[in-house]
């Protein structure tokens, strides 16, 4: 189980606390990475702000050089020159060849379904040292199989980081329950840059295994074969940013849930695993 009791300052000193069951190299890494930051670490803003810097930090810490971005498609996390500057060999994956066709030049590309039958492919992808994804796993229909495939594609000692929205945060519950056509219309109205044909189109979401509770995810991840598992939850989102009063009430509720460590209602999570 992970340490909890996240205080307003973003540390892990306040509130309740649970003992760590066993030593964790991933937990030690995250503690070192965070250092003495003062910003609220419980809020999803921290997850968004740090995602692109925590990847090369993971690579340096564990000596990882071959990065595969799952679902990178047309919008990979790093430019090719940035990846080289971090000492990374960078492969972009996507299930859709059209998405890969929109990707910038200078990358290796691998078209396969992370939740598919890898052994049916003509050439088995990988192996990779580091596999990452951002806002992808909520679109995967068989996440358990996806994690098994991640384990198969990693070298021994390899690391994967997946960042995704979680149930039961209200925006994602709504998105999960309403028809996809209506969901598209709402997202397009609130976020014009996510309209079809734009740089960040909306894809149907199924939220399979998208939870922020380590107790829920750990048995599945251990079954996949991972030796070290870290589930770091985050609360808060900005779907009501245009509605001041409701937005403030929603933010206050998120702050309360973070203080109480109510992981049933997380908004996002980092799942970091090591083979």
pLDDT band at 2 (very low <50, low <70, confident <90, very high): very low
pLDDT band at 6 (very low <50, low <70, confident <90, very high): very low
User: Across all residues in the chain, what is the average pLDDT?
Assistant: 87
Q: What share of the chain in percent tops pLDDT 70?
A: 83
Q: What is the pLDDT of residue 198?
A: 53
Q: What is the pLDDT of residue 4?
A: 34
Nearest one of 103, 65, 109 to 86, comparing CA atoms: 65
pLDDT of 46 > 50? The answer is yes
Between the alpha carbon of residue 122 and those of residues 117, 152, 208, the distances in Å are 11, 16, 28
Q: What is the pLDDT of residue 146?
A: 98
CA distance linking residue 90 with residue 146, whole number of Å: 20
Using DSSP's 3-state secondary structure scheme, residue 263 falls into helix
Residue with tokens 């679902």: 71
pLDDT digits over 17-44, tens only? 444 457 899 999 999 999 867 668 999 9
Q: 110 — alpha (psi -120 to 50), left (phi > 0) or beta? A: beta
Token pair for residue 68? Answer: 């595969």
Domain ranges of the chain: 25-274
Strand order in the sheet with 228-234: 108-111, 89-94, 66-69, 128-134, 154-165, 268-274, 228-234
244 Cα distance to chain centroid = 28
Q: What is the pLDDT of residue 181?
A: 72
Residue 220: Cβ within 10 Å count: 16
Q: Look at strands 66-69 and 89-94 and give their pairing.
A: parallel
CATH class of 25-274: alpha beta
Strand partners, 270: 163, 232
Residue 138: Cβ within 10 Å count: 22
pLDDT digits over 148-192, tens only? 999 999 999 999 999 999 999 999 999 888 876 766 566 656 656
The CA angle 174-99-175, to the nearest 5 degrees, is: 0
pLDDT of 10 > 50? The answer is no
pLDDT of 259 > 70? The answer is yes
pLDDT digits over 113-160, tens only? 999 999 999 899 999 999 999 999 999 999 999 999 999 999 999 999
Token pair for residue 130? Answer: 């580091």
Q: What is the pLDDT of residue 199?
A: 52
CA distance linking residue 158 with residue 117, whole number of Å: 21
pLDDT digits over 205-245, tens only? 899 999 999 999 999 999 999 999 999 999 999 999 999 99
The set of residues, in sequence order, having a beta carbon less than 8 Å from that of 236 and lying 6+ positions away, is 42, 43, 44, 45, 251, 254, 255, 258, 267
As a whole number, mean pLDDT of residues 239-256 equals: 95
pLDDT band at 5 (very low <50, low <70, confident <90, very high): very low
pLDDT digits over 74-111, tens only? 899 999 999 999 999 999 999 999 999 999 888 999 99
Q: What is the pLDDT of residue 88?
A: 97
CB 243 within 8 A of CB 251: no
């Amino acid at each position: 189980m992970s340490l909890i009791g996240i205080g307003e300052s973003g540390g892990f000193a306040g509130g309740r606390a649970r003992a760590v069951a066993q030593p964790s190299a991933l937990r030690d890494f995250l503690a070192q990475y965070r250092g003495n930051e003062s910003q609220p670490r419980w809020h999803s803003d921290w997850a968004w702000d740090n995602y692109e810097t925590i990847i090369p930090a993971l690579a340096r810490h564990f000596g990882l050089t071959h990065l595969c971005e799952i679902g990178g498609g047309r919008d990979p996390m790093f430019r090719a020159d940035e990846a080289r500057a971090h000492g990374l060999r960078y492969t972009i994956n996507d299930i859709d060849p059209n998405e890969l066709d929109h990707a910038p030049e200078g990358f290796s590309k691998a078209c396969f379904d992370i939740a598919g039958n890898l052994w049916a492919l003509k050439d088995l992808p990988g192996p990779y040292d580091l596999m990452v994804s951002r806002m992808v796993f909520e679109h995967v229909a068989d996440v358990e199989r996806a994690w098994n495939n991640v384990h198969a594609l990693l070298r021994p000692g390899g690391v994967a980081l997946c960042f995704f929205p979680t149930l039961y945060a209200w925006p994602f519950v709504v998105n999960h329950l309403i028809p996809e056509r209506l969901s598209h219309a709402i997202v397009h109205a609130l976020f014009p840059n996510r309209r079809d044909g734009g740089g960040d189109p909306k894809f149907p979401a199924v939220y399979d295994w998208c939870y922020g509770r380590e107790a829920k995810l750990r048995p599945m991840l251990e079954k996949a074969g991972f030796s070290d598992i870290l589930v770091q939850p985050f609360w808060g989102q900005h779907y009501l940013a245009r509605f001041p009063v409701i937005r403030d009430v929603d933010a206050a509720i998120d702050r309360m849930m973070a203080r109480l460590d109510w992981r049933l209602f997380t908004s996002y999570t980092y799942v970091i695993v090591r083979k």
